[in-house]
Amino acid sequence: MAEPVTLLAFGDSLTQGYGLAQNEGFVPRLQRWLTDHGADVKVINGGVSGDTTAGGAARIAWSLTPEVDAVLVALGGNDLLRGIEPAESKANLDAILTEIESRGLPALLVGMEATGNFGDSYKTAFDALYPALAGAHGISLYPQFLQALVDLGDRQEVLRDYLQADATHPNPEGVALIVEAMGPAVLDLVEQAEP
């Protein structure tokens, strides 16, 4: 019998499942979604709350243990909160993707979109770095972690029904929508992997 594919979900508090019961976070929900859609996969939670792209770059090498077959990379939200220079975030993400590539592993990059807090030029530079990196590394790009909530189009509804009280992290209903929307892209990634 073939071994299951081991998928590392490498990210920050959004990946880690901040503020949620263990079975309601992104990774367990994604695991269930993938299994329900016929994937023989084991998803490892490589989310660290508060992690920046620099933190991710510092830990990627030892996170890629021998059993890892594919990697979902979802970092950048904390860089945004701190106003870290987009060029720095890009360099860190590039280092992460280069390390994954050096191991011959397929990856999916999950983007982030800046708010206007740091001005238009910051937003333009930050928003552009994910498509640029996905293109440079020849990997798939999922627009942004919270895409399913953005697509609802009603910020008040999202705040009321799909986010925790901190207005940043999704609640269980929000996670369910996020996984449903991102699932097909992750399934594609799993299908590229060789256990």
Query: Which residues have a catalytic role annotated?
Result: 13, 166, 169
| DSSP run (H or E) holding 137 | helix 120-137
Which residues, listed in sequence order, are joined to residue 42 by a DSSP beta bridge?
6
Which residues, listed in sequence order, are joined to residue 140 by a DSSP beta bridge?
108
User: Closest Cα to residue 8, out of 192, 191, 190, 194?
Assistant: 190
- Residue 152's alpha-carbon distances to 20, 50, 98, in angstroms, are 22, 26, 34
Please tell me the distance from the alpha carbon of residue 25 to that of residue 98, in angstroms, as a whole number: 28
Angle between helices 26-36 and 172-192 (to 10 degrees): 60
Please tell me the distance from the alpha carbon of residue 129 to that of residue 87, in angstroms, as a whole number: 8
Reported as half-sphere exposure (CB side, CA atoms, 13 A), residue 33 has a value of 21
